[in-house]
Structure 1
Amino acid sequence: MATIGQVIFRSMIAIIIILVAAIALIIGIGVSGQDSSSVVTNDAVGKIGEDVILGCSFPAAKDSPNILWEKVGVNSYVYKYENAAAVLSGQNAGFKGRTSLFLNQLTSGNASLFLSNLELSDAGEYKCTVTNSNGNGVGKLTLQVGGFSDLTITGVPPNTLLCESPSWYPQPSVTWSNKTGNTISLVNLTNTTFTPSLYNMFQVNSSLKEVQRNIQYTCVIQNQLAKAEGDVIWTASGVKTQTRLDIINSADIPLPPLCLLCVLCFQLISQLV
């Protein structure tokens, strides 16, 4: 059986291991999406057919920076700015006429890329390389491209609700629930269809039958990029609704390693003592 001194010593070792691992995790999270340089990038989510900004910033210097945007796995570059001018002669054909920088913000450290008329093929990993008198830095980011749109909910007499949204890709899931959050009892009362639309997207139509008056229902349409949610209540004066559309950014997804680390460390302590 371990003496009190041995227990204290082992406990101190376990605490040191926890602190070192926690510090390493914090540092790893802090540099996620960027390298050891001071170039900072931000992951982005864009909608098919619309525009997006790929964020990239750097410590400004007095001289004009050289900026190179590349897409991993694509021949040639996405955009190049060199010697205070755009160099587009070697630009990848798929990005011609769709890219630009915010030139009036370069002196303040903004190297973000404006990308217009998004296509599904634009999704992927991008690199932003900045060179100035401070040195050379590279930042990486991921662009996700798909379809998502707000929804509408209407009442169809005598007791049916219709939840509709015009543009989704990839194909989303659709769920109905009542104010208690019960979805199972409503499954047999719903009918959902996905109709092909422009740019490979889907139009979503979902109906809920046997709707009761003065009870709040919720329709949720969701894929890995976005979540559209609508609350509705059918009263004697008509149907009242409230909707919202949220973009799901990968940076907002909780990271599980910290909890896992705590569990492992507590197990280690129990074994030591």
Structure 2
Amino acid sequence: MIVIIILLVGALALIIGLSVAGNSTTNDVTTVNAVGRIGEDVILSCTFTPDVKLSSNVLWEKVGDTGVVYRYENGKVSLTDQNANFKGRTSLFLNQLSAGNASLYMNNVQMKDAGSYKCTVTNSKGKGENKLSLNVGALTALTVTNISQTTLRCSSPSWYPKPTVSWLDVVSGSELTNSTTTTTYVPGISSMVEVISDFKEAKQNVQYRCVIKNILARAEGDAVLTATGLKTQFRLEVLSSAQMMSPSRLLLCLLTLIFHLGLVTL
């Protein structure tokens, strides 16, 4: 336990050093990782310590790309050096800057938009920055139908990256074997696939669940065959994005953990 505390103290000292050397200001910029669907719009979240009296400058960049994603400087939009990939596709919520919202709105998300982005804010509070990751893919809700008295079909039109599919007996919690299920992936545009999966030994009044998932999302569909027909319910969950903590918040978390470990060892 003492060794763990020593290591945490060392990490704490490193963070303090980096904070002092790389950011001598008090502007606390916070970002949150995002998931974008191909062809749809996405918001890259960025908040900061607001300045209610003076305008804040906001710069969005994509790590590894030349040019800016978006720039708001000295009270006006400045896009003379904007990367061509983002022309006409990005904007800020300018009426919310005074409240500390520097989030970026991006429309018509494509696979090439995936990557790491940096949000930098400068005002009288100082200069602060933080990064986030944008993952891009395709995910759609699934449906379950019965194509015969004993066969259930689970289908979903668009997924990327290619997902896995599993069938479960909900009551027992056991996964159904490959000998009773067949899954087909039909190629689509932009590397997306349509998913079609059949379970061939369905019994009446037993609740079955189809699960389609990849690193971005999880879709579930429950189905029960009854004497009067098929009963179903569906869920689609975009997997939670981990928050990118600013140095001050990470500092607080480490201090809390060290304090807790210190109490445990007493």
Q: TM-score, normalised by structure 2?
A: 0.82
* Matched residue, 1:133: 124
* Matched residue, 1:6: none
Alignment of 1:1-273 (within 5 A): 14=1, 16-19=2-5, 37-61=27-51, 62-179=53-170, 180-183=172-175, 185-251=176-242
Distance 1:170 1:234 in 2: 31
Distance 2:14 2:227 in 1: 56
State whether residues 32 and 241 of structure 2, in contact with CA within 8 Å, keep that contact through their aligned partners in structure 1. no
State whether residues 189 and 209 of structure 1, in contact with CA within 8 Å, keep that contact through their aligned partners in structure 2. yes
Residue deviations 1:194-247, cap 9 Å, x none?
Answer: 111233211111111021111110100000000001111101111111110111
Residue deviations 1:101-154, cap 9 Å, x none?
Answer: 001100111000001100001010000010111111111101100010110000
3-state SS in 1 of match to 2:117? strand
State whether residues 226 and 246 of structure 1, in contact with CA within 8 Å, keep that contact through their aligned partners in structure 2. yes
CA RMSD of aligned residues (A): 2.6
State whether residues 177 and 186 of structure 1, in contact with CA within 8 Å, keep that contact through their aligned partners in structure 2. no
Distance 1:202 1:111 in 2: 35
One-letter code aligned to 2:238 = I
Q: CA deviation at 1:250?
A: 3.8
4+ residue segments displaced more than 4 Å: 16-29
3-state SS in 1 of match to 2:108? coil
Unaligned runs of 5+ in 1: 1-13, 30-34, 253-257
Matched-pair identity in %: 51
Distance 1:174 1:27 in 2: 46
Distance 1:25 1:143 in 2: 27
Distance 1:91 1:125 in 2: 17
Distance 1:148 1:27 in 2: 42
Q: CA deviation at 1:177?
A: 1.1
Distance 2:203 2:14 in 1: 51
One-letter code aligned to 2:39 = G
